[in-house]
Amino acid sequence: MELQIKPCSPFIGCEIKGVDLARPLPERLIAGIRDALLSYGVVFFRDQKLTPAEQLQVCSAFGEADEYPFVNGLPGFPTVTPVVKLPNESVNFGGLWHSDTTYMASPPMATFVHAIELPPLGGDTLFASMYAAYEALSEGLKETLSGLRAVNSAHKPRVSDTRAYRIDDSGKDVGGQVLEAVHPVVRTHPESGRQALFVNGAHTVRFEGMTVFESAGLLDYLFRHQTREDFTCRFQWSEGAVAFWDNRCTQHYPLNDYAGYKRVLHRVTLKGDVPV
């Protein structure tokens, strides 16, 4: 069958119609979805009814699921992380622009999220293309960035605050472990061969060999530049919707505009490789 693909914006995102992810996917369909993921950075599906086991089954066609380091997964499904905001809570999990867990030596290849319970309005997620962000830079700045590496940490205060509620009720004991990793500022995608900016405001602390203060000016510019509106798309969740994104060339930002309502998503991240 031919995939029904509708692009969401000029640089990132597409919606795929006519696919039931709960059913076994033939190889041609898997290849088509993978091609769409590589082309658009994030693909969306509507009206999917997936148990945690079915979610893991479809994810296994694209990679190996990994556990999130800070929060326990669902009972019996340690690699399915519940992303929850309760009605009385003021901050949402991961509620700022980021690429998932870039403080790991091998950050995730991709993330697959399934909507379980949603507020009546709000809670959209924005996505940004790091290909477009890199390609829009001047040749001089590209040359400057080409030799730089950046330190990424799990412990920047703003992002730590967004996971505080879940650590309180379902957190893992990581002891005194400090999660940090150094990655190139410009990453070459291992499948497409394209270059993408690979710093983000949630986790990137400084350039390797420089202080936080020395790094701040250029990093702040890159954080603003890479999330320009023209590099983005906006996804309005609906019950059963799925977003499947490539962490190697995108960032995302879940909006926190639904005070007083509950929101529950099930997230699976797929193991990646060492960025180069």
Catalytic residue among 34, 98, 163, 263: 98
Sheet holding 204-207, edge to edge: 180-184, 149-153, 204-207
Question: Is 114 considered catalytic here?
Answer: no
Catalytic residue among 114, 163, 252, 266: 252
SS3 of 210-226: the string is: CCHHHHHHHHHHHHHHC
Question: Is 225 considered catalytic here?
Answer: no
Region 130-134 average pLDDT:
98
Helix, coil or strand: residue 129: strand
Catalytic residue among 34, 66, 100, 266: 100
Q: pLDDT tens-digit profile of 85-116?
A: 999 999 999 999 999 999 999 999 999 999 99
* Average pLDDT value for the chain: 96
Catalytic residue among 166, 183, 263, 267: 267
Q: Residue 275: is its pLDDT beyond 70?
A: yes
Q: pLDDT tens-digit profile of 140-179?
A: 999 999 999 999 999 998 888 888 888 888 888 776 678 9
Stated pTM of the model: 0.96
Q: Which domain holds residue 178?
A: 4-270
276 is a domain residue: no
275 is a domain residue: no
The count of domains in the chain is 1
Quote the CA–CA distance of 199 and 170 in Å, as a whole number. 28
**CATH number of 193's domain:** 3.60.130.10
Question: Is 257 considered catalytic here?
Answer: no
Residue 20, Cα to own-chain centre: how many angstroms? 23
Provide the pLDDT for residue 175: 65
Q: pLDDT tens-digit profile of 143-154?
A: 999 999 999 999
Question: Is 155 considered catalytic here?
Answer: no
